Chains A and B, each alone.
Chain A
Amino acid sequence: MGVIPVLILWPALIALLIPLLRNSKARGIAVYVGAGGVMILALTLLISWLRGGGQMVKLYQQTEGIDHLMLAGELVLMVLIVYLSIRHRKYPVILLSVGQTGLLIWSETTQPVEAPYHMAVDCLAMLMCIIAAFVGGLICIYAVGYMKGYHKHHTEYQDRSGFFFSMLFLFLAAMFGLVLSENLVWMYFFWEITSVVSFLLIGYTRTEEAVNNSFRALWMNLLGGLGFAIGIAVAAGTLGTVQLGEVVAAGAVIPVVMLAFAGLTKSAQLPFSSWLLGAMVAPTPSSALLHSATMVKAGVYLLIRLSPALCNTMTGMTVAFIGGFTFIAASMMAIAQNDGKKVLAFSTISNLGLIVACAGIGAEETIWAAILLMIFHSVSKSMLFQAVGSIENSLGSRDIESMHGLLLRLPRLTYIMGIGIAGMYLAPFGMLISKWVALKAFVDADNYLLVIFLAYGSATTMLYWTKWLSKLVSLHHTKEPAHDATLPDQYLSMYIHAAATLLLCLLFPLVSTYVVDPMIVELFGSAHEVLSMSVLTTMAIMLVSVIFVPSLMFLLTRATHRDYVPIYMGGINEGDNTYFTNSFGEPEHLYLSNWYLRFEFGMRRLMRPAVIVAAGVLIVMLCLIVGGAV
């Protein structure tokens, strides 16, 4: 277990080292070494933990020195935020930052709490570590190639790649700290670091839009942080403990609702979704790492931890409603987007919503679904982000419309996208099975509203993925050449992701038995069979068939003779499939657009009402819960 400090300090060290390296090649090597180190360390931790029996391990009883260091760290973060807010004239942010740091310091000085231990390793924490280490490490490797291409394209932005990598590694360090912390004060410290790192990364390009979006992300996350701080202060004051496990076991209403609130902001649930959309201005690796695969998962991680205290309470109902509502609203708004990254962002929000809803119900089945959703979503979504980033570097655009016929122009990237998209919504991939279990669990939990949300939300989810997929597979021969500008670093990461997606789906029954069930046991004390083994095996067979059937058909039909003719355009093709004769007798280029239904599902139409509904419910329920508890 001695490896834990190394696991946290190693990326932090790399983060300090990288800005010192001016040479991009040396920097690349440092990133590889750093990422490789992180993966090896995480594996070492996993192995030593498994050797120890895979039980919950409690660590670090006496940590006064570190506590003081963290307090100092929090003050540094506060000063940094205050400085940047003054420089960019965003004064309200100062209030939030000073408020929560002050609250925490006051709480720690007036109500000192003896913590029996500060960190704990259990299944869920271990899983999050592995996800952060492997997905995160691969994304860092991907970023080596990506940032070169990015600055080749965007000469208007200052090249601050060193800073960028440094922040990625700092984030990894904070993420490890966050998921391993059991003491809420420690967790809060790492929580704040992730908020600040995310803020700095969103502002990477220093354009006006980027700065505005980064401050929006900051204030929303700080609001959550304030909730976190209030939760800690109340827990310390009333319960005399700041251990997450003890707070959950006590089921104390106010700390739990405040922590849940922090979780909602972190995972960008409505009404706080807009920060994640704004975060898409950042270079793609940071979107992949922070804004889909790991950081936003910290929010749902906290909610899953809280779930035993959420089960059958008003807090749980509220969280579940917000999650379910976000699921359907975000998936509807995704339909109207033609920017690839925006669609991914909405889909992330929407899927997080589903996980949050599962956590809010807090039953065994839903947590099972939530954890699986989290695993599958991390891997698939990170891969999709990377693929979109590579496509953007190659085409100079991330507009889905310009991906028409991508299968012929950038085949390798298209296959990766295809696997990612299929993994996100098709039967019988992991996401869909988890959704199925979630549906069943919602019915069992007698939450009919969530059933309705899920039924309609699945339909809208289906639409935006299918239309993207069909755009990719249109066999449209354009005359514009496309040069695949993707570097080997990027492919390395994406191939491993693609393989992991497929393997995870194939090994679904094993993942369920050996990874998820122990977590359920940890959280609830016992685990029942959510889906019988035969069902899971059937699903694995189905998955093979999804890959196998089209391949078989390919082999069968390859030999058949076909006579090729042009597509039907009323008989006025100009010799090929790309031009037709228009009414002036001139050749006109064929342009086929997807459906976006902007007037029906556009953000302009839906965002405001959705935010109002979610905010209204949140405020009213917060008042009721807190008022009822006081």
Chain B
Amino acid sequence: MQVVSVVLYLILAPFVGALLDGFDRIISARMQGRKGPPLLQPFYDLAKLFSKQMLAVNSVQMLLNLSYLVFLAVAGAMLFAGADILMSLFILSTADMFLVMAASSDSSPFSTLGAGREMIQIMAYEPMTLLLAVGFYLATGSFQVVDIIHMPYSTVLPMPGFLIGFFFVMAIKLRKSPFDLSTSHHAHQELVKGLTTEMAGPTFAIMNIAEYYEMTLMLGIVALFFINENWWSWPIAIVACLFVFFLEILWDNVSARVKWRTLLDSCWVVTLLSGGLNGLILMLIR
């Protein structure tokens, strides 16, 4: 069962991520009064990127990018294998570190700027992810995902604060406005493409696939809040994931990018007020 879900994750996650990205682009376009690209646009983009010339500014960027991809896949695989959620989140930040290194290895102004901001972003979201794991432990008595999804009730009931906090920092991981500081999908801005500036063709395609793995991993964590031992919790979890994803898109479209200081302050404060307080309550009633 575990093997099946890991294999399914490894194979399907990029497709799920790309499809969600396609939906995202259509919904965003509709919100802006446009028609938007076709649903399969992300697949077209990937196919194109792989067919392009292999331009590079140094010899290590590709391998660091691939390492980023592999570690993200490992982090996600751990979650979907039902293993330790804390370990999965630790590996997630290790993966992110490879991305930062890939960007800094260029030693170019824009990618270095992006890498610096990415580090601030990691610093902003990391307390929430650690507290999240603690929250699951407090609510269920285990860090193991297998145990968490076999609870008699959904964990969102005792830990709504964590869901709010996680929703907040998820905007960073999905690279959504107002927290898309390190790179962005839009042109004409101060950081060009941030940490992906020097990634061309296949290198950039790998980065995109990694992002799809990450997106799936994030939504997997959201699903963790809803899944319990009853079969009907699974469709609820999927609906909840889609709803959370929709909210992120909505937030993306109604807000402008903030400065790093606002990002850091708001993420830390929200983490403390939502996750921190919720965790405290859980600990007191334990």
Contact = CB atoms under 8 A, between A and B. Distances in A.
A–B direct contact (CB < 8 Å) = yes
Interface of A: 404-405, 426-428, 432, 436, 439-440, 443, 446, 448, 451-452, 454-456, 458-460, 462-463, 466-467, 469-471, 473-476, 535, 538, 542, 545-546, 549-550, 553-554, 556-558, 560-569, 577, 590, 592, 594-595, 600
4 tightest A-B CB contacts, nearest first: A470-B104, A567-B108, A459-B126, A427-B90
B276 A466 contact: no
B123 interface: yes
13 contacts: A451-B134, A455-B126, A455-B130, A456-B268, A462-B97, A462-B122, A462-B126, A467-B116, A476-B107, A562-B54, A565-B56, A568-B108, A592-B112
Contacts of A426: 94, 97
A472 B2 CA distance: 40
Nearest to B75: A427
B67 to A, nearest CB: 5
Nearest to A435: B90
Nearest to A551: B63
Contacts of B283: 443, 446, 448
A532 to B, nearest CB: 11
B62 A595 contact: no
B155 interface: no
B107 A577 contact: yes
Contact of A567 (B83, B91, B107): B107
Nearest to B98: A550
Interface string B69-105: 0110010000000011011001101100110110111
B186 to A, nearest CB: 17
A462 B107 CA distance: 21
A440 B55 CA distance: 46
Contacts of B84: 535
A545 B74 contact: yes
A312 B107 CA distance: 51
A476 B60 CA distance: 12
B172 to A, nearest CB: 12
A568 B197 contact: yes
Given A436-B87, A564-B55, 7 more contacts: A463-B123, A466-B97, A470-B103, A474-B112, A475-B58, A550-B64, A564-B56
A454 B124 CA distance: 14
Interface string B144-177: 0000000000000000000000000000000000
Nearest to B197: A568
B71 A549 contact: yes
B108 A577 contact: yes
B188 interface: no
Interface string B34-56: 00000000000000000001111
Contacts of A567: 57, 106-108, 111, 198
B104 A577 contact: no
B272 A452 contact: yes
Contacts of A550: 63-64, 67, 98
Interface string B117-154: 00110111011001101100110000100000000000
Nearest to A561: B54
B244 interface: no
A429 to B, nearest CB: 10
Contacts of B70: 549, 553
Contact of A557 (B63, B130, B279): B63
A291 to B, nearest CB: 27
Contacts of A562: 54-56, 59, 62
Interface in B272-286: 272, 276, 279-280, 283, 286
A513 B220 CA distance: 35
A312 B238 CA distance: 44
Contacts of B110: 568
B205 interface: no
A466 B122 contact: yes
B62 A560 contact: yes
Contacts of A600: 261, 264
Contacts of B119: 462-463, 466-467, 470, 595
Contacts of A569: 108-109
Nearest to A599: B261
Contacts of B261: 600
A439 B137 CA distance: 11
A427 B94 contact: yes
Nearest to B88: A427
A474 B107 contact: yes
A535 B143 CA distance: 12
A513 B111 CA distance: 45
Nearest to A447: B283
B52 to A, nearest CB: 11
A459 B96 CA distance: 13
B279 A451 contact: yes
A443 B97 CA distance: 27
B19 interface: no
B192 interface: yes
B66 interface: yes
B263 interface: no
B115 interface: yes
A349 to B, nearest CB: 19
Nearest to B115: A470
A554 B61 CA distance: 10
A129 B63 CA distance: 42
A508 to B, nearest CB: 14
A535 to B, nearest CB: 7
Nearest to A555: B63
A460 B127 CA distance: 9
A565 B100 contact: no
A549 B97 CA distance: 14
B91 A542 contact: yes
A546 B261 CA distance: 32
Interface in B195-245: 197-198
A470 B56 contact: no
Contacts of A595: 116, 119-120
A454 B57 contact: no
A270 to B, nearest CB: 20
A592 B108 CA distance: 8
B112 A475 contact: no
A462 B84 CA distance: 21
Contacts of B86: 436, 439-440
Nearest to A469: B101
Contacts of A592: 107, 109, 112
Given A448-B283, A470-B100, A563-B56, A549 B107 contact: no
Contact of B60 (A466, A475, A545): A475
Nearest to A578: B107
A456 B126 CA distance: 7
Nearest to B267: A459
A503 B192 CA distance: 43
A568 B192 contact: yes
Nearest to B53: A563
A471 B104 contact: yes
Contacts of A466: 97, 100, 119, 122
B54 A563 contact: yes
Nearest to A545: B74
Contacts of B104: 470-471, 473-474
B55 A565 contact: yes
A427 B93 contact: yes
Given A440-B143, A463-B120, A568-B192, A473 B101 contact: yes
A471 to B, nearest CB: 7
A436, A560, A566, A568 interface centre (most CB from chain B within 10 Å): A568
Contact of A564 (B57, B60, B91, B137): B57
Contacts of A455: 126-127, 130-131, 134
A298 to B, nearest CB: 31
Contacts of B272: 452
A34 to B, nearest CB: 41
A460 B57 CA distance: 31
Nearest to A457: B127
Nearest to B104: A470
Contacts of B105: 473-475
